[in-house]
Structure 1
Amino acid sequence: MELKRVVVTGLGTLNPIGNNINEYWNNLEQGVSGAEMITSFDTAKFKTKFACQVKNFDALQHFDRKELRKYDLYCQYAMVSAHEAFLDSGLDLEKIDHDAAGVIWASGIGGIQTFMEEMRGYFAGDGTPRFSPFFIPKMIADIASGHISIRYGFRGPNYSTVSACASSTHALIDALNLIRLGQATIMLTGGSEASVNEAGMGGFNAMQAISTNNDEYKTASRPFDVTRDGFVMGEGAGALILEEYEHAKARGAKIYAELAGGGMTADAHHFTAPHPEGLGAKNVMINTLKNANLKLEDVDYINVHGTATPLGDIAEIKAITSVFGEHAYKLSVSSTKSMTGHLLGATGAIEAIAAIFAINKGIVPPTINHANPDPEIDPKVDLTLNKAKKREVNVALSNTFGFGGHNSSVVFKKFSE
C-alpha cells in the first residue's frame, strides 16, 4: 500500500531554556545553559546539587486548585506543552474528525514525585494506609496521554510509550506509522518528565550517571569534552502535532517540516552501558534513513543523543563515522543537552523540535561548554562547538538511546509540495 505523508503542524514545549517554542528556539541559537542550583529540596547530603530545571512555572496560571489535585508535575508539563502545540497548529475542534485524532505521550518514569510524597506520608504515619484516591492515577506513566485526549476529545489511538530516554522518539515513530497507515489523521505526540527530586537525583547519583561538578554547575553538561563526568538532569516537556499531509493542506495549515521516517533497534548488550562500538546506534540510523527512503549524503545535521557520559559520547560518534563514512565530515553534529540537560523520557521530543528549528531557521544549534577535546573522539567531525552555525539544513536526524539498550531515531526533511 502507498504510505501517507506526515507533516508537523504544531509545536509546544516547556523546558529548562524555554517556556514556549519561541523562547526555546531563541535560547538554542544563543547557546544558553539551563543549569542552576536546586532549591526545590535540601541537597546538602546529595552528591549532585544542581540540575536543568523549568523556570518561572506557576501551575495556577494553567490549572485551578481542584484540577491540580489530579496532576503530577510531569502531567502538568505535558498538558501545558500539548496545549501550546494544539493552539499553534490552528486546529478547529469543531471541524475535525475526533475519532481520527489520537494521542501518544511518553514518559520514562512518570509520576515519581507523587509516588515519593505518598510513601513519605505513609511511613511518617502509624502504618494505617491513608493514601490519596488520586495516588495511582497521578503516578502511572500513561495518564498524561489520557488527560490530553480528554481535554481535546481525541478518541483515536491513545497510549504511552516507555523506553527510558528513547521514550518520546518511540512515541513520534508510533504516531508517524499510525498516520502513514491511515489509522489516524491527527496525532498529538511528545513526552514529559519531572524527576528533579530526592528520588530522581539520589537514584542517578547511586548509578554514577550524573555529573557531580557542583563547582562548575553552569557548564557541567559538556558533551564530547574530555572532562565530562555524566549527564545533567533536566525536566520539562515537548509536544508535536503530526498530521496527514492532505488533511493539513486542505485546511491551509502551516507546515514546519515533514517527518520522513523513523527507526528502532536494541543494543542487546548491557542494561545501562552502550554497545562500545555503537552497534545499536549504527543500525538505528541506517534503518531510519532506509525507512525514509533517504541516502546518507542527504543528511545535513544530526542532533545526537550526546549525554556527556564518558562511554556514550564516544560510542555515538564512532557509530556516525562508521555509518556515514566520508560524509560524516560534511554534516553538522550537535548535542543540545549541553543546554537543556537530559530530560529522560521527554528528551526525544524537545530534540526533535531542535532538529525542526535547524531546518526552519537554517541554523545548527551549538554544543556548548566544550573546552578540552577528547582524543578518542574523531576531531574531523563538526560538533558545532560553543557557537551556533548558519547552514542550510534540508534533512535533520535526531538520535535517542535509553537504558535497556533501546535506540530510536527520527528524520525530518524540509517540506516541499
Structure 2
Amino acid sequence: MERVVITGMGVISPIGNNVETFWRNLTEGKSGISTIDTFDVSHHKAKIAGIIRDFNEDDTLGKNEARRLDRFAQFALAAAEQAWTDSNLDIDEIDLERLGVYVGSGIGGIETLIKNVDTLREKGARRVSPTLVPAIMSNAAAAQISIKWNAMGPTMSPVSACAIGNTAIGEAFRLIRFGEADAVFAGGAEAAITDLSLASFGNATALSTRNDSPAKSSRPFDENRDGFVMSEGAGILILESLSHALRRDAKIHAEVIGYGASSDAYHMVATHPEGKGAYLAMKKALENANISPDEIDVISAHATSTLVGDQSETLAIKKLFESKAYQIPITANKSMLGHMLGAAGGVEAIALAKSLKEDLIPPTINLEKPDSLCDLDYVPGTARKVEIKTGLSNSFGFGGHNAAIVLKKYE
C-alpha cells in the first residue's frame, strides 16, 4: 500500500486567510470571534460569530467567477488555490485522471438560497437565478475545484455534518493508499452565518450568548461555557502518495497514517453522553495506523464548548488511553476559531500538521475554571513547546457522525 503525505495546505479562517497568519494567531492564542455586523442581530439571542474578514472575493477569484458562487464555494476555491501553490504541483506534469477532489460542506449555499427565496417572494419566479441549484449544492465546492484544475479523478462531497473535514481527508487517504489516485484535494468549507441559521441554532439554545465579550465566548472544557460559537471558512489540504511526492522532490508537511469512522446511532443532534462513537472512531484510527495508544503525543479535540460534547469526548479519551490520558496534551482550536462546522476538520488538520512540524501545541484559551468532569491536560492559556511525533485529530457531527485521523511527523 502507498504511504500518504500532505504536500499542500490552504486556509480561510477568522484568524487569518493564509496558513502562516492563521498559525501565528492560533499559537498566540488570539480569538477570531467578534460581534456580527453583516446583518441585523438585534432580535437574536446570540450576536457573535467567527466571521471571515478581509476577504475580497473579486480580487481573489475574479469578479465573473465570484458572482456565480456561494460564499462557501468562494472560500473553498481560495483555500484550494493556496494549497495548490503550496504543493508546487505542475498541472502539465501530473496525470489529471489521477487527481481527485474530496471536499464537502455541511450546509452548502444557504446564503444564496435565502437571497433567492426573498427574490421569489418579492419579485416573482422570473427573477430567481437560473444558477441557484448549482450554487447551493453541497458538492458545488468540490465540483468547482475539479473544473478549475481539470481534475478528472474521483470527486465527491462527503456530507457528515461537522465531521466532514476528517471524513474527506480520511476517504482521500484511503483512495491514495490503495493506489487509485496520486493526489487529492481534501477538506471542507462553510459559510452559514445567516439570519436563518443563527435563529435556528439560537432557538435550540446551542449558541453562546456571551455577547459582551466575544473573545471570551468559546470556552471548551470550562465550567462557565454556555454553548458553541458559529464560524465560517475553509481548510483544504493536498494529499499525495509518498512515491509521487518523492519523484518530484516535494516539500512534505506531515504524513497521514490512520483514519477511523463511526456512528453514535443515538440521536440527531445530541452527542452520545458516554462518547461511545467518539471512542470507536479514535480506536479504529489507531488500529488503521497500526499504532498503540502509547504512541499518541498530542490530541486535537473536537471540543465545541458544549457541556455534553466536551464531557463525552473527555470520557472517550479516558476510555481509550486509560491512565495515559492524563499525560497527553489536548488542544481545542475552537476556543479561538469558534465552530467552523463543515470546515472545522480541514482547518484543524492543518493546525495539527503545523504542530507536528514545529513541535508546538496551540493553547486552549478561555479555560479559566475547568469543568470537574474535564480534568485532562488541555494546554490552557499559552502554547506549549514540546517534542511531538504523532497526533490524533477528532471531528464529530450532527447525526452521530464521528471521524478521527492520525498524522505523523514526516521523517
| TM-score of the superposed pair, with normalisation by structure 1 | 0.97
Asked if structure 1 preserves the Cα contact closer than 8 Å seen for 2:61 and 2:78, the reply is no
What is the distance in 1 between the residues matched to 2:347 and 2:310? 19
Matched, 1:390 2:376: no
1:153–1:128 distance in 2 versus 1, CA, 3 Å: closer
Partner of 2:80 in structure 1?
82
Matched, 1:406 2:401: yes
Partner of 2:155 in structure 1?
158
Report the residue type matching 1:304 in the other structure. A
Q: Following superposition of structure 1 onto structure 2, how do residues 273-312 of structure 1 map, counting pairs within 5 Å? A: 273-312=270-309
Partner of 1:58 in structure 2?
56
What is the distance in 1 between the residues matched to 2:167 and 2:328? 24
Deviation of 1:130 after TM superposition, in Å, equals: 3.0
Q: Following superposition of structure 1 onto structure 2, how do residues 248-259 of structure 1 map, counting pairs within 5 Å? A: 248-259=245-256
How many corresponding residue pairs? 411
Asked if structure 2 preserves the Cα contact closer than 8 Å seen for 1:267 and 1:280, the reply is yes
Deviation of 1:389 after TM superposition, in Å, equals: 0.6
Matched, 1:91 2:89: yes
Deviation of 1:129 after TM superposition, in Å, equals: 4.8
User: 1:42-73 CA distances to partner (integer Å, 9 max, x unpaired)?
Assistant: 11111111101111111111123222221000
Q: Give the secondary-structure state (helix, strand or coil) at the position aligned to 2:157.
A: strand
Deviation of 1:337 after TM superposition, in Å, equals: 0.1
What is the distance in 2 between the residues matched to 1:85 and 1:128? 40
Report the residue type matching 1:98 in the other structure. L
Q: Following superposition of structure 1 onto structure 2, how do residues 7-406 of structure 1 map, counting pairs within 5 Å? A: 7-125=5-123, 127-378=124-375, 381-406=376-401
Report the residue type matching 1:263 in the other structure. G
Q: Give the secondary-structure state (helix, strand or coil) at the position aligned to 2:172.
A: helix
Report the residue type matching 1:247 in the other structure. H
Question: Unpaired runs of 5+ in structure 2?
Answer: none
Report the residue type matching 2:162 in the other structure. C
What is the distance in 2 between the residues matched to 1:182 and 1:206? 47
Deviation of 1:309 after TM superposition, in Å, equals: 0.4
Asked if structure 2 preserves the Cα contact closer than 8 Å seen for 1:292 and 1:411, the reply is yes
Q: Give the secondary-structure state (helix, strand or coil) at the position aligned to 1:62.
A: helix
Report the residue type matching 2:103 in the other structure. W
Deviation of 1:102 after TM superposition, in Å, equals: 0.7
Q: Give the secondary-structure state (helix, strand or coil) at the position aligned to 2:162.
A: coil
What is the distance in 2 between the residues matched to 1:374 and 1:91? 46
What is the distance in 1 between the residues matched to 2:237 and 2:258? 15
What is the distance in 2 between the residues matched to 1:387 and 1:104? 34
Question: Unpaired runs of 5+ in structure 1?
Answer: none
User: 1:7-57 CA distances to partner (integer Å, 9 max, x unpaired)?
Assistant: 000000010011100001101110000011111101111111110111111
| TM-score of the superposed pair, with normalisation by structure 2 | 0.99
Report the residue type matching 2:287 in the other structure. K
